[in-house]
A and B are shown apart, each in its own frame.
Chain A
C-alpha cells in the first residue's frame, strides 16, 4: 500500500475539517473491511484516512420508542445484532448485519460503511430503506438528512459532498403490526456476495396490507427501491397471492446485468422469488407483533 497519513479525530467538527481540506484525497475509515482492500487494489488514490471510530456520535447505538433507533455510522455489525432492542424491534436489520461477511468481518464492518461504499450488492441497505431509514450527514455547511433510498447515486457514488461525513443512520419506530425481512441468494451457505437480495417491510391492518416497502440488492447500479411494488398491494389481504403481485412488479423493475454471478434472466427471476418469500416472512413477523 502506498504511503497514507492517518488521523483519528475525536469530534465530527474535526473530521469535517480534515475531510474538507483534503477533498477527494481523503476518506473516512470505519471498519476498513472495504476501504483497506480498495486501497491495496488502488481503487482510491488517497493521502489521508480519517478514522471515524473515536468520534462519539459515530459510535452511538440507541433506541427508544419515542425517538426510534440511531446507529452511529461506525458501529460494527456485532454490536447491532447483539443489541436486544434492535433484535426485537428491527429484525430486518439484524437479518443483514448477521450475514455480511464472516465473524471476523462482523467484528469490524459497519452499516454506515456498507452504505457509503455504495456497492449495488450492499446487504444492509435494502432493509434499512424498508425501515424508512434516514442518513444524518454533517459537513462544512452544517448538517442535513437524506432518505436512504436517495443516498446512493451510482456504483460507488453517493450524495456526500466535499467535507461531508455520514454521522449516523436513523430509523423511526415501526408502526404497530409491522414486520420486515431481508434475504439474499448466494450459491454458498455464507460469506458471499448477493446474486440478488430483497429487503421488505409491511404494516398490517386487520389482516390486510396497510403499507409495504420493497427494495432490491444487486440488480441495478444502486440498491433499488421499488415504491410501486409496495403501493400496488396496499389495501389487499396479507396473503401469498398478494405477495405475488408485489414480487412480479419487483421482477419487472429490476435492471440487472449479466456477470459471473448470474444472468439478467436469472436475477430477475430471483427478485420475484426473494421478494415473495421476504414479504411472507415480514407478514409472519408482523402477526407476531
Chain B
C-alpha cells in the first residue's frame, strides 16, 4: 500500500500541511486529519451541500473533491467565516431569523450564502433560491433561510 501524500494548503488564511490518503475526500481530510469538524457530512454524493466549502475561489461539495487535489489551493470552511468572536453578518442573520433547527445543513448554507453575497450583494429571492438549490434542509422549509440571506444582504450593504 503506497504512502500517504503530503499536501500543502491554505485553510482559512493559514498554511496547513497535511498527510492524506489519495482515496480520502477533502471532507474527510478536513474533519479527520485537520480536525475541522464544522464542515458536515450529509449524503456524501454531492446532493445535499452540507459539506460545502470554498475551494480555489468557488464553492464546492467537499465530498466530491479528493484531499490530494487541495495541493496549493486555498480553502475556506465554516470555521473561517466569523472574525474572531464576532459573527459574520450572515451567521447573525441566521440566528435572528431562526434559519436553523437541527443545524446540520447550516455550515454549508452559510458558506454558500457568503459566496453568493460576495459576488451578488443584492440578489433577488429567485437568485437566492437558485444559488442555494444544492443545499438541502429538512427542517426549516427554506423560507427562513431565504429571509436570513435577504436580511444579511441588507445589513452588509448598510455596513
- Identify the A interface with B (CB < 8 A): 1-6, 8, 29, 31-33, 36-37, 40, 49, 51, 53, 76, 78, 101-105, 107-108, 189-191
Contact = CB atoms under 8 A, between A and B. Distances in A.
Q: Chain B interface secondary structure, helix, strand, loop or mixed?
A: mixed
Nearest to A191: B133
Given A29-B66, A40-B45, 4 more contacts: A36-B63, A103-B132, A105-B64, A108-B60
A171 to B, nearest CB: 24
A4 B22 contact: yes
A36 B64 contact: yes
Contacts of B69: 32, 51, 53
Nearest to B69: A51
Contacts of B44: 40
A77 to B, nearest CB: 10
Contacts of A191: 47, 133-134
Contacts of B5: 6
Nearest to B130: A190
A144 to B, nearest CB: 29
A32 B55 CA distance: 14
Contacts of A4: 22-23
B27 to A, nearest CB: 11
Interface string B128-159: 00111111000000000000000000000000
Q: Chain A interface secondary structure, helix, strand, loop or mixed?
A: loop
B11 interface: no
B61 A105 contact: yes
Contacts of A8: 68, 71
Contact of A102 (B25, B49, B115): B49
Contact of A1 (B23, B52, B55, B68): B23
A102 B45 CA distance: 13
28 contacts: A1-B23, A4-B23, A5-B22, A6-B5, A6-B22, A6-B66, A6-B68, A8-B68, A8-B71, A36-B63, A37-B64, A49-B66, A51-B66, A76-B58, A102-B132, A103-B59, A103-B112, A103-B115, A103-B133, A103-B134, A104-B46, A104-B61, A104-B134, A107-B58, A108-B60, A190-B130, A191-B133, A191-B134
Contacts of A37: 45-46, 64
A2 B1 CA distance: 11
B12 to A, nearest CB: 19
B134 A108 contact: no
Task: Give the residue among B22, B47, B63, B71 with the most A Cβ atoms within 10 A.
Answer: B22
B21 interface: yes
A94 to B, nearest CB: 15
A3 B134 contact: no
Contact of B23 (A2, A29, A108): A2
Q: Which 7 A-B pairs have the closest CB atoms?
A: A102-B134, A107-B58, A6-B22, A190-B133, A1-B23, A102-B133, A104-B134
Nearest to B1: A3
A49 B66 CA distance: 10
B65 interface: yes
B139 to A, nearest CB: 19
